[in-house]
C-alpha cells in the first residue's frame, strides 16, 4: 500500500498553508505534529496566471490552478471533500 495516503489530508480543514513569502506557501497536514517531517506535503507558488502546486510523494506531482483555494484543495485525498477543486487546469 502507498504510504503517501496516510499523510495526505482527508479533509480540506487539515491542509495548512504557511507563508514563506507573499507568493510562496509550504503546505502541511495539520493533523501531523509540526516536528514530524512527514507532515510536509508540498508547496504552492503564485505565478503570473495562477498557482503552481508541487505535491511531494512518489512520484512528485506538479499541477496548475487558477486560484489559491483550488490549489489548496488539490492536497485533499478524498475528491468528494474538495470544495471548488473542479477548476483544475493542467
Nearest Cα neighbor of 19 from 56, 45, 51, 54 is 45
Q: Could you report the per-residue pLDDT of 34-74, keeping only the tens digit for each?
A: 889 989 999 999 999 999 999 998 788 899 999 999 999 99
Question: Exposed/middle/buried for 53, CB within 10 Å: 0-12, 13-18, 19+?
Answer: buried
Q: Helix or strand or coil: residue 20?
A: strand
- What pLDDT, on a 0 to 100 scale, did the predictor assign at position 85? 40
pTM, 2 dp = 0.78
Compare 19 and 89 and report the one with higher pLDDT.
19
Domain extents for the chain?
A: 4-79
Strands 40-47 and 61-65: unpaired
Alpha carbon distance 31, 68 (integer Å): 21
Amino acid at each position: 500500500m502507498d504510504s503517501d495516503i496516510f499523510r495526505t489530508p482527508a479533509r480540506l480543514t487539515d491542509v495548512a498553508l504557511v507563508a514563506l513569502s507573499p507568493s510562496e506557501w509550504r503546505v502541511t497536514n495539520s493533523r501531523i505534529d509540526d516536528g514530524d517531517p512527514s507532515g510536509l506535503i508540498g508547496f504552492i507558488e503564485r505565478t503570473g496566471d495562477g498557482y503552481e502546486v508541487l505535491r511531494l510523494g512518489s512520484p512528485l506531482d506538479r499541477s496548475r490552478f487558477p486560484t489559491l483555494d483550488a490549489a489548496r484543495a488539490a492536497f485533499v485525498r478524498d475528491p468528494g471533500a474538495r470544495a471548488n477543486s473542479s477548476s483544475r487546469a493542467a
